[in-house]
Amino acid sequence: MKKALLTLLVLAAAIPSFAKEVIIFTGVPEIKISEAGTNRVPENLLAKDKAIKFKCTITKIDDKYYWTSRENVELVPITSGAFITYWAVTGSGYVRVVRPEMKEEVRKIGAMADDPEGRYDYVEHLLLGLKSVTYYGKAK
């Protein structure tokens, strides 16, 4: 009996602990732009109270990243300058985020040039067949 109990304890200690899921980014979009060839339809999500419905979430489990708000598609992060771009391994899109430590500097430069970086913290781009949907928003 002692041997069986000891074996169980050794096995329990050898089993790795469950992976902890950590939310590394949450953003709420303000603008949605749908494009289909010659059609381009911008939509103000704040005016219609729809923003929270299109929230963007990225989580990290162990060393892997997931687009939690888009069917848990695995993402590959690439850091370049002031941005981190999380590419979907399926080719279905990406999320580009201003690195938190660079946010103030990027916002100032973007505001001077009237670029999206002056108002937004991220862009989420989805490819749907030959159409696309792009969201611009702020980190939460």
pLDDT for 75-115, tens place per residue? 999 999 999 999 999 999 999 999 999 989 988 888 888 88
Nearest one of 74, 67, 70 to 90, comparing CA atoms: 74
The reply to whether 68 falls in a domain is: yes
Instruction: Look over the chain and give the mean of its residue pLDDT values, rounded to a whole number.
Output: 89
The reply to whether 91 falls in a domain is: yes
Band of residue 4 on the pLDDT scale cut at 50, 70, 90: low
The reply to whether 89 falls in a domain is: yes
The reply to whether 115 falls in a domain is: yes
Q: Distance (Å, rounded) from C-alpha 19 to C-alpha 86?
A: 21
- Across the range 50-68, mean pLDDT stands at 96
The reply to whether 2 falls in a domain is: no
Indicate whether this model's pTM tops 0.75.
yes
The reply to whether 86 falls in a domain is: yes
Structural domain total, the chain = 1
What is the three-class DSSP state of 47?
coil
Residue span of the structural domain in which 108 resides: 20-139
CA distances from 110 to 38, 41, 106 (A): 28, 24, 6
pLDDT for 22-47, tens place per residue? 999 999 999 999 999 889 999 999 98
What tokens appear for 53 in the block?
């419905």
- Quick one: what percent of the chain has pLDDT higher than 70? 87
The reply to whether 15 falls in a domain is: no
